[in-house]
Structure formats: C-alpha cells, structure tokens
Chain A
Amino acid sequence: MTQQKWTTVVKSSNSAFNMDLKGLKNCKDLIFLFVRRTFVAKYKQTVLGPAWAVIQPFFTTVVYSVFFGNIAGLGASDVPNFIFYLSGTIVWTLFANCLTETSHTFTGNASILGKVYFPRLVMPISTAISQFIGFFIQFTFMLGFMAYYLITDAGLRPNILILMFPLVLIQLAILGMGFGMIISALTTKYRDLAMVVGFGVSLWSYASPVAYDMFSRSQLAPGSAFYNVYMLNPVTPAINLFRYGFLGTGEIDWLFYGIGWISTAVVAVIGALMFSKSEKTFMDTV
C-alpha cells in the first residue's frame, strides 16, 4: 500500500494566520490579467479612453487653484499654484483610489469569489496595482507641466530626493490597500462602512496637505501646536516628500516620515490578517 499523499487540506479552523502565501506566488499571471481586465474594461466604449485619467485630476486641480489657491490664498508661496495642486492631487488620488477600490473587493467580486478558489489576496493586490496605470498617465501629464514651469523658470527646484518618489507611491498604495482590506473585511457583515468610505476619504483629504500648503499656515507649520498631531497622518509626510523632491517646496520631517512607514506597515498587516480571516467564510454572509 502506498502512502496516501494530499496536496491540499481544507480545514475547518478559521485562523487569520492561515494565509495562502504559497499559492499567491503562483498567481503572477492572474494578477497581471486582473490588472489588465480592470484597465481595459474601464475605458472600453469610451471615446476619450485613458484620457479620462487625466481629465479628472486636471479639473480638480483647476478648481483647487482657483478657489483654494487664488481666491482663498491657501497655496504655496514659492511655486505656481497649478503644479502645487496637481502634484498633491495625483498622489492623493492614487491613495484614495487604492483605498476605495480595495474596499469593494468582497462585495464587488462576490460572483467570482463565490464560485472558484484562488488566493484571495490576489484581488486587493491587483486592484492596487491597476491604480498605478491611471497614476502614471497623470504623472506623465504632470511631468509635462513641470517641464513647462522649469523652462519658464517659475521657481521649481527639483532635487535629489526626487529619487524617493517610488517609495512614496508604494507606501501610499500599501496604506490604501491596508485600509481597504480592513474595510472590505468588515463590510462582508456590516454594509454601513461602505457608506462611510466615500465621504470619509474626502474628509481625510482635508486632513492632508492636498488642497492647501501646510507650511504657510501658522496653525500647521513646524513648531505650531497642531503640527505633531497633524503629522501623524501617514499620508502627510509622504505627500510632503513627493512635493519636496519634485518642486522643492516645503520641508521634510524624517521622524514623522519614519512613523508614517511604521503605521503603514501596521495597517497593512492588520488589513491582511482581517482579510484572510474573513475570506474563508465571507460567502456565507455577503
């Protein structure tokens, strides 16, 4: 009698630490195809296609520049309002999209997830990656404007920290994905959170230096009363670093940048654990 061997055991135990990381490694093709699916499906049957990725942040930036920048005077003093707001907007959009899109993972894909098994982490990972496609279109758009402002010598001072921008993007994507996974794990049972996500994210954007320059505000600038609290928002030091590298505006507080990475890691781990805990039985409740 040969010893019976098993390749997979489906256990009833429902531990969060029971993640299928081994299976995840074999899913590179699947992640790629999901990313492709999201991108292709998004712009199919639109006339402008991927140009839509630029139109949204462009108009947001215009509105920010006019209302917050020119009328309210909240923009940065040393760089043009337009490029200041554009850089903030596209970075924020990357984070916000990662968060909201990931938060729909279970509820939005119930029909696939309910029929076939693949490592569930594929879904949030591919969702987060697909946000980068839109981002890089916007990023190219931004580089174009940067070139224009550099030629016209509008006060931009790009520096060596520009090389850290991939790190900023990765951090924001992981952070957004982490929060998204927490929310999607909770929304399998409580739909309430799905309602909160939309306006929660837009409120959050006002707690981050997207629509205004924190360094020219006396309430928020380094040394002020709120500074230490304000900087605990992990998005803030990340946006600051991005702007500093490309535009040379603002300051960098490495302590809070490090804290930002720590909280990002904590959120990501909690998110992954909650996600893999609920993935086993979410089909019964969703």
Chain B
Amino acid sequence: MEELAIRVEHVSKEYRLGAIGGATLKGEIQSKIAKLFHKEDPNLMIGETAHGKNERFLALNDLSFDIGKGETVGIIGRNGAGKSTILKLICRVTSPTKGNIYLNGRITSMLEVGTGFHPELTGRENVYLNGAILGMSKAEIEKKFDEIVEFSEVGQFIDTPVKRYSSGMKVKLAFAVASHLDSEIMIMDEVLAVGDVAFQNKCIDRMKKVAEEEGRTILYVSHNMQTVKNLCNRCIVLSHGQVAYAGDTEEAIAVYMQDENLDNTTFFDTSGAKRHPKCNQRHLLQNLHMYESEKNSVAYGETFPFRITWKSENDTERVLMKMIINGIDASPVGVMFGGELKQKEGLNSAEFRFDTSYLVPAKYTVDVILYDQDKSGNIMFYDRATALRFTVEHGDKSLKLKHWFKDWGNAVLPCIEKIDGDDKNV
C-alpha cells in the first residue's frame, strides 16, 4: 500500500440554515423563554415555524476519500457541492460535525492568497508575517527570502507598503510565499484566478515541480478545467457533499461537464433547446439521429451515418450546414463543413457520414450550425444547437494514438506528405 497523505473518513458538515441562533443575546433569551411557556417565538419571521427555523443543511454528507503522498489531486464540482467546505476542514479552519480527518505532514493552505497580508506593512514584512502564519519559522523564511522575492517578480517594490500593490502583485507575492514553504501538503482554492497568464503558467509549473521533485501532495480546487487538466493527475468530483467520481482527470472532467448521462443515446432532440439570439430561426434543427448505431460511441477510424431533420419556413433561401466539434471541457477542437442542404417548406432531412479518424479517442459534443454566406463572406445564422454527444473509443486503427497525451490536442490532422519516394543520403 502506498503511503497516504490525507484520509477523510465519513465526514459530514452540517450548517444551520437562516440566521444562526438569535442574532443577539436578547433575542436568544426571548426565544428560550417563549419556548418555556409554550408561547409563539417572538423572533420568528412570518411563515417560519419553530421547527423550520432549525433546518439543517448538510454541506458534506458522509464523505470519504484517501489521497496518497505526492499526488496532485483536483477537486471539482458545481458551486455548493462542498469543495470549499472540505478544504476548510482539511485546513482545520473549522471542525467536521461528524467523522475524522487524518493528515500526515504539515499543511499550507492557500484558500485565499494574501491571507494575513497587512496593508500597512511592506512587502518584506508581509513575507515574514505571512510565512509565519503559514507555519514557517523566521530562520526558514530568511533562508528562502531571495528565492521568494525572485519568484514573485515584485523585487523593486519589496519595501513598499502592500496597500500600494496592484491585486496581481499581491497574488504573486502571496503565491511565492506559500509555494516556497516546506510543508508536505499544499491546499489551493482557485488562487490563480488573479495573476496574468504567464504567471499562472509559472505557478502551475512550480506546483508540478514541487509535486514531482519534492514529493509533496497538492489539493487543487478550480473551475478552470484547463488548469485542472494541466496540473492534476487525479480528480475527485463532488456533488451534493458526496464523491460523484474519483479517478482519472479526463474522466472526472467528463463527469463534471455532463449534466445528464447521455451515454447510449443515439437520438438527440433539439427542437426545444434554447437558441442563441443571433439566430433568426427561419430554418430550425429539430433532431439528429445516429440511425445505424446502437450507442453513441464509435471506434477510432470508423465512420457512422447520421440524419438531421430541420424545419424550414421557406424554400427560397439557401441553407448551409457546418459542425463545430468540442472537447468535453467545452474547448473547441475544430470545424467540419457539411455543404448545402436542399429543403422545401416544412420538415426536411438529410443524411451525412461522420469520419472519426480526425478525432483522438475521447468524448465530444457537436454543435450543428445552419447558415448562409453571401459572396463577400457575410454570414447569416439560421440556427445553432448542440446536437450530438459521442465517444470515440480506441479500436484497431488507433495504435498511433495509444499513448496519446493530453497536450497533443484532440484533432488528428492529415499526415505530413512526403515528397519523392526514396530518402536520400546527404
């Protein structure tokens, strides 16, 4: 068994809804006295019952997971899924209602960068203070001071009060301090949101390095799937205070991104979907059917036929079709043009064949666009709808992609053409 860094064991965290207790001592005593004499509580709002006032909310519900030493684990989930709550518990900012959390090693928490930065103190003073708050001794900070300042890129302002820093500078300095601590576990909650892109990348590189070379454990919470994908080698998806999925990052993001489980669906109804206001909806996509497939997964390199059905207001306009392929984290992969559709007023349908040899094995969503374009390039949008979700699976032809790595991207471009038949010895 690998050594563990964190074990969360049947943890629940309960919050009371509404105002906590009486807001004032007087109110609390009033309520208690009223209860004693079986009178109506004078502090209840209209419509509240004494029972309803104590309604409980389980932010975390019997949550359990283990995190091994040296792992970089992403925690993703919708707002209110319990991500921040579990981080707070692990950081010991507040206690669980039930269950225990076991930690192996010192913890650095970066729930919000610049925690404890005092605006009146200079950058230098704040580095010492912040380091001490995060658990470093003065000697340790002294040893790393130059490294911290260099990383933070605020060198020339280090003796200026922090209140004159820009928000980006504060984040940089704070991240620099936190990431140079000698703690075994680092916990980060969307800390990179403020820095510029170059600094974000620098931070991610730094964290990767810290995890790989120094064997530190990193817990990272973010809504930015790109950074999660980039940094984490494992992900936990939380939903309603429970683990919805734990494992491979790609898979976890797929679980997170998918509203509902649409696997094994081959008929996608788009007639009721919301449309973008730019679409004039004169030609409206009704549905897309993978009419020969039994499920919406296809082996790499195979093709599948599909039929689209659309409703037209007239037969005088020309309608072109194109599709935009998106990865599961909603990042676009590429566009495919489908050519001109022929239609009469009313319902029409057309059949196409989709070649999957341009897409690496993964999950995709497809937006179908109906439009027209005049000779000078102006586009008129009739309709755009997310009409298809499917999975490209590994198959006989995907050997080249067997060790596909996420930074290759999702599109397989045409082979590079070789000029002449034979290689020359020069």
Contacts and interface: CB of A to CB of B under 8 A. Distances in A.
Interface of A: 1-2, 4-12, 14, 26, 29-30, 32-34, 36-37, 40-41, 44-45, 111-118, 189-193, 280-285
A6 B120 contact: no
Contacts of B118: 37, 41
Contact of B115 (A7, A29, A112, A283): A112
B100 A116 contact: no
B418 interface: no
Contacts of A282: 94
Nearest to A6: B102
B111 A9 contact: no
Contacts of B99: 12
A284 B106 CA distance: 24
A9 B103 contact: yes
Contact of B102 (A8, A112, A193, A283): A8
A9 B20 contact: no
Given A10-B95, A112-B115, A285 B100 contact: no
Nearest to A43: B120
B104 interface: yes
Interface stretch (B84-92, B335-343, B391-399): B84-92
Interface string B97-123: 111111111110101100110101100
B404 interface: no
B128 interface: yes
Given A12-B100, A114-B93, A280-B94, A40 B115 contact: no
B1 interface: yes
A117 B91 contact: yes
Nearest to A8: B103
B91 A116 contact: yes
Contacts of A32: 138
A11 B95 contact: yes
B332 interface: no
Nearest to B116: A112
A40 B134 contact: no
Contacts of B97: 12
A284 B115 contact: no
A8 B90 CA distance: 10
B93 A283 contact: yes
Contacts of A14: 95
B26 A7 contact: no
Contacts of B93: 113-117, 283
B65 interface: no
A193 B133 contact: no
Contacts of B105: 7
Contacts of A115: 91, 93, 109, 111-112, 115-116
Given A1-B1, A284-B94, A9 B115 contact: no
A32 B139 CA distance: 13
A189 B23 CA distance: 7
A36 B90 CA distance: 29
B15 interface: yes
Q: Which 5 A-B pairs have the closest CB atoms?
A: A117-B92, A10-B101, A190-B25, A30-B132, A8-B103
A167 to B, nearest CB: 30
Contacts of B41: none
